[in-house]
Structure 1
Amino acid sequence: MSSNTLVVKDLNELYDLMGLSHEQIDSRDGFSILYLQEIMKNLPLTSVRYRPDFFSFLFIREAFGKYTIDDLQFNMQPRTVYFTNPGNLRSFEWHQLNDTCLIVFTEAFLKEQVHSDIYNDFSFLLTETVEPRVLMPEQFRAIEELYQIIHREYSSNSPYRNKLIGSMLVSLLFKIREYFFQDYNPIYEGNRSSQIVRTFKQNLEQHFRDLAGGKTDTQLRVQDYADKQFLHVNYLSSVISSKTGKTVSAWIADKTITEAKVMLQNKQVSIKEVASRLGFLEASHFSNYFRKHTHQSPAEYRKQSVQ
């Protein structure tokens, strides 16, 4: 596979590709936090080019290097915070690495452990490209206190670990929102392709919100998403694939599975009702679809996830 289209699902897969040790990283629940200086000890280091299938925050207390998102390059320096969402082509270089924390998480983790309507408070998570920001010392200390607590919980054996991490992640996201987005405009504000991607993600989120809320029971096709932006379906497909590394159909499938997992957490909602809410005419069709994408039946997933 070309490095230009390389999609990695989690840190373990990325570090495997780079030949880095990662035994202490547990990505099974869709969340990981680590200090990069414990992983990347032989510097300088340059990554492969890749497209992550996850969100990430990078908190640089003391380090230097470069970060590239699509065709934009940013310098890494102390007290810098980076946020990136799934899809953008990226790479990084580390020249000095003393104290840097990385947090990555999937949309499924956000919706299962934080809130099913996560984008209502944190719409910036849908922003196509976010410029890194160097914080004031007191601002970075506030952020640092939060990610240190999250790291301690991640390393614990608490049966409520994910719920505790989810709660602290809310505080962290509000701080990011406060420091980054009070007067923020995306750096791709005038880029038509990026506007198309952002609008598609918003339309995708809104449609599944309507499905979950019972406002509609019809699944949207690729053509429907193109129509919403008055675009030819081939053009929408080309833009989404080139900008995110995933097809429109793949985005829809991933979103369907994420929302299904959230609904399956509620034992009061039958599997048949979950299928109906997601626009499946038959529960058996939903079960086959879910198994195809997760290698589990909805009943098996519910039994595993709901204690």
Structure 2
Amino acid sequence: MEAKNRMAETETLEEFYKHKFVGLSGDAQKAIGDFNVFVMEDISTPEGNSTVEYTRRDFFKISLVSGTNLYHYADKTIKIDGTALLFFNPRVPYKMECLEGNNKGFFCIFKEAFYTEKLRGSLNDLPMFSIGGKPCYLLDDQEQEEVSLIFRKMIKETASDYKYKQDLLLTYVTEMIHYALKLQPANGLVQHTDANARITAVFSELLERQFPIVSPEQRLLMRSAKDYADQLFVHVNHLNRAIKETTGKTTSYYIANRMAREAKALLKHTDWNISEISYCLGFEEASHINNFFRKHTEVSPSKYRMA
């Protein structure tokens, strides 16, 4: 089977560098432990102009962005016309949509261990990283310069030979977090003409990213409406209601229908046995796929394969 739209694995810092920052100098590519910092204008692919990637990441990101943008996170959108300090949580899907030209500014990326190994508490407990938190802070000119100075200190320190540079970099990250905590988060959520259609589209993309199944070791990880709601950081009732109002069908219908289509493809185009296909589609017992397949096709997997 052709491997397309394969479900993305958790993206690491190394993978992030590889696909995002083509053409960086050796010094810029070199990560300092679990931390790195960049000037947006120095990146060959401008930050904020990338395509949507609804995948889990194993790192956090803090950005200082100047420009005209729409910041999409989970099922919400904030319009930024000016400068904003943004906090990206690895558990929440997001996209920066640049509306005019290229963005300018800075950003740093780091793993949770960079922060928690030396400081008590979890980043996820902080308001900008917590579930339902507000990760966007609009800045005036003075605030922009003050935050820019913190980023410049980070950049200078990454190039130094100072023995305790990671401790100092951690101090700068903490300073930035406390700077934001003193500000009022942006409340200007964009009211989509059809928010239900938007979250339905995001759900559909997440669903398709799990397919096709290309090896007997690959397994479907999200099989319920709640699994998808958790990925989108919305309540499952909100997801179900949005999809029902947009399409007239249930979330479970779309998940089951896509699983049935994949089961048909695997039965016709691979020589995997029923137990292997059952495992790949997330069933605990081979008998479960027989019941599922009969319900959606009115024939058994074995009869479908022989037809």
What TM-score, normalized by structure 1, do the two folds share? 0.52
- Are 2:101 and 1:111 equivalent residues in the alignment? no
- Are 2:59 and 1:54 equivalent residues in the alignment? yes
Q: Deviations for 1:131-166, whole angstroms, at most 9, x for unmatched residues?
A: 523212222222222222122112212111101111
Q: Give the direction of change, closer, same or farther, for the CA distance of 1:17–1:174 in structure 2 (3 Å limit).
A: same
Specify which of 147, 153, 158 is matched with residue 154 of structure 1.
158
Once the two structures are aligned, what percentage of the paired residues are identical? 15
Q: Give the direction of change, closer, same or farther, for the CA distance of 1:120–1:236 in structure 2 (3 Å limit).
A: closer
Query: Given residue 96 of structure 1, which amino acid in structure 2 is its aligned partner?
Result: G
Higher helix proportion (structure 1 or 2): 1
1:171-182 equivalences in 2 (<5 Å): 171-180=175-184
- The DSSP-based 3-state class of the residue aligned with 1:179 is coil
User: Which structure has the bigger radius of gyration?
Assistant: 2
- Show the counterpart of 1:167: 171
Higher RCO, 1 vs 2 (CA within 8 Å, ≥6 residues apart): 2
Q: Deviations for 1:35-91, whole angstroms, at most 9, x for unmatched residues?
A: 11100367994334243322211102x333443223333444332111121122223
Query: Given residue 56 of structure 1, which amino acid in structure 2 is its aligned partner?
Result: K
RMSD of the alignment, in Å?
3.9
- The DSSP-based 3-state class of the residue aligned with 2:182 is helix
Distance (Å, rounded) in 1 between the aligned partners of 2:183 and 2:230: 29
Q: Give the direction of change, closer, same or farther, for the CA distance of 1:55–1:19 in structure 2 (3 Å limit).
A: closer
Most deviating of 161-170 and 41-50:
41-50
Specify which of 5, 10, 17 is matched with residue 7 of structure 1.
10
Query: Given residue 19 of structure 2, which amino acid in structure 1 is its aligned partner?
Result: L
Assess if the C-alpha contact under 8 Å between 1:81 and 1:134 holds in 2.
Answer: yes
Consecutive unaligned residues in structure 2, runs of 5 or more: 191-223, 235-307
Q: Give the direction of change, closer, same or farther, for the CA distance of 1:128–1:103 in structure 2 (3 Å limit).
A: farther
Consecutive unaligned residues in structure 1, runs of 5 or more: 188-233, 245-307
Q: Deviations for 1:161-183, whole angstroms, at most 9, x for unmatched residues?
A: 101111222221111111146x9
Distance (Å, rounded) in 1 between the aligned partners of 2:229 and 2:46: 38
The Cα shift of 1:33 comes to: 0.9
- Show the counterpart of 2:91: 87
Assess if the C-alpha contact under 8 Å between 1:85 and 1:128 holds in 2.
Answer: no
Matched residue pairs, number? 196
- Are 2:101 and 1:64 equivalent residues in the alignment? no
- The DSSP-based 3-state class of the residue aligned with 2:129 is helix
Query: Given residue 106 of structure 2, which amino acid in structure 1 is its aligned partner?
Result: C
The Cα shift of 1:14 comes to: 2.7
1:1-307 equivalences in 2 (<5 Å): 2=5, 5=8, 7-10=10-13, 12-18=14-20, 20-22=22-24, 23=26, 24-27=28-31, 29-40=33-44, 45-51=49-55, 52-60=57-65, 62-94=66-98, 95-97=100-102, 99-113=104-118, 115-119=119-123, 122-180=126-184, 239-241=229-231, 243=233
Assess if the C-alpha contact under 8 Å between 1:3 and 1:48 holds in 2.
Answer: no
Most deviating of 103-112 and 89-98:
89-98
Q: Give the direction of change, closer, same or farther, for the CA distance of 1:178–1:43 in structure 2 (3 Å limit).
A: closer
Q: Give the direction of change, closer, same or farther, for the CA distance of 1:68–1:121 in structure 2 (3 Å limit).
A: closer
Query: Given residue 240 of structure 1, which amino acid in structure 2 is its aligned partner?
Result: D
- The DSSP-based 3-state class of the residue aligned with 2:183 is helix
The Cα shift of 1:237 comes to: 5.4
Query: Given residue 230 of structure 2, which amino acid in structure 1 is its aligned partner?
Result: I
Distance (Å, rounded) in 2 between the aligned partners of 1:106 and 1:97: 27
